[in-house]
Structure 1
Amino acid sequence: MRKAQLKTPLGIALIEGDSRGISRISIVEENKETSTEIPEELKTCVRQLSEYFQGERQQFDFQLNPQGTEFQQKVWQALQEIPYGKTTSYLELSKKLGDVKAVRAVAAANGKNPLWIVTPCHRVIGSDGSLTGYAGGLWRKKWLLNHESPSPQHKLF
């Protein structure tokens, strides 16, 4: 498994992957140095994340290889379908997956998302429109939603 650290406006992103794709992108709380040499397998991911934070990219097209259960994979795939600048609720996501009673399971799978930003779990909010739990901290979720807001004058939260 190859690794690289990328400085973002929200902290240091730790990127892990190999020739089969990117398996993990996480935010690290420790004050880590950024990578000076990026492994070949991670270069496209690093470039596209940099473009995202510069406001130049709305979709990612590098190979993903997240590890999880079949149900988690279904949830993560559904998250991929939430458009940039849009949000959905846990309830709507569970309906989309075919089981309105699976809200808690969907929320748990969402919380285990190994691909920060690329699998946009930050786009899932409460049914009442409120910000809800986010492993990276609600302040990061708020920042990401505002970053993706269609109009710079119109902030979501």
Structure 2
Amino acid sequence: MSVAYFRTPVGIARITEEEGFIASVSIRDEEYDIEPAPTPLLQAAIDELNEYFAGTRKQFTFPIKQEGSEFQQQVWDELVQIPYGTTITYAQQSNQMNNPLAIRAIASANGRNNLWVVVPCHRVIGSNGSLTGYAGGIWRKKWLLEHEAKVMGVGQTKLDF
């Protein structure tokens, strides 16, 4: 496993590569030494994430693969379908998955997502518009949603955050 760290506007991101795939992207509060990426794939991921934060990239193209159950994989596949700059509720996600009674299980799978920003669980909100349950911290979820809204030219979103 190879690892790279890079600075984002909301903290230090840690990216791991395993067997030719980006396996995780996580955000950290701690400081880490920022050094050149040890592999071309890690550098490609850093470049695309920097483009996301610059507002010039809305979809990621590097190969990803995270470990999880079949159900978790289905939940994560659904997350990558959420368009940039938009949000859905957990209830909407469960309905899109034809599993309206699985809201809590879906929320739990969202929380186990290891590909921060790339698999955009930050775009899923509570039914009342609240910013609920985000491993990176609610303030980061708010920042990401506001960033995407700004890039889309929406300005202040209609969500109450």
* Coarse TM-score class (shorter-chain normalised): over 0.9
The SS at the match of 1:13 is strand
Q: Which residue pairs with 2:13 in the alignment? A: 13
Q: Which residue pairs with 1:40 in the alignment? A: 40
The SS at the match of 1:133 is coil
Q: State the identity as a percent.
A: 48
Q: TM-score, normalised by structure 2?
A: 0.93
The size of the alignment, in residue pairs, is 157
Q: What are structure 2's unaligned runs of at least 5 residues?
A: none
- Higher mean Cα deviation, 143-152 or 76-85? 143-152
- Higher mean Cα deviation, 82-91 or 17-26? 17-26
Q: Give the drift of 1:154.
A: 2.4
Q: Which residue pairs with 2:155 in the alignment? A: 153
The RMSD of aligned alpha carbons is 1.3
Q: Which residue pairs with 1:142 in the alignment? A: 142
- Higher mean Cα deviation, 137-146 or 34-43? 34-43
Q: TM-score, normalised by structure 1?
A: 0.95
1:65 maps onto 2:65 in alignment = yes
Letter in 2 for 1:106: I
Q: Which residue pairs with 2:105 in the alignment? A: 105
Q: Which residue pairs with 1:55 in the alignment? A: 55
Q: Deviations over 1:1-56 (max 9, x none)?
A: 11100100010000001343101000122211112344222121110001001111
Q: Which residue pairs with 1:23 in the alignment? A: 23
Distance 1:53 1:138 in 2: 18
Distance 1:69 1:29 in 2: 28
Distance 2:142 2:41 in 1: 30
Letter in 2 for 1:88: I
- Higher mean Cα deviation, 84-93 or 28-37? 28-37
Q: Deviations over 1:106-132 (max 9, x none)?
A: 000000001000000000001111111
The SS at the match of 1:147 is helix
The SS at the match of 1:104 is helix
Distance 2:37 2:74 in 1: 34
Distance 1:73 1:141 in 2: 22
Q: Which residue pairs with 1:115 in the alignment? A: 115
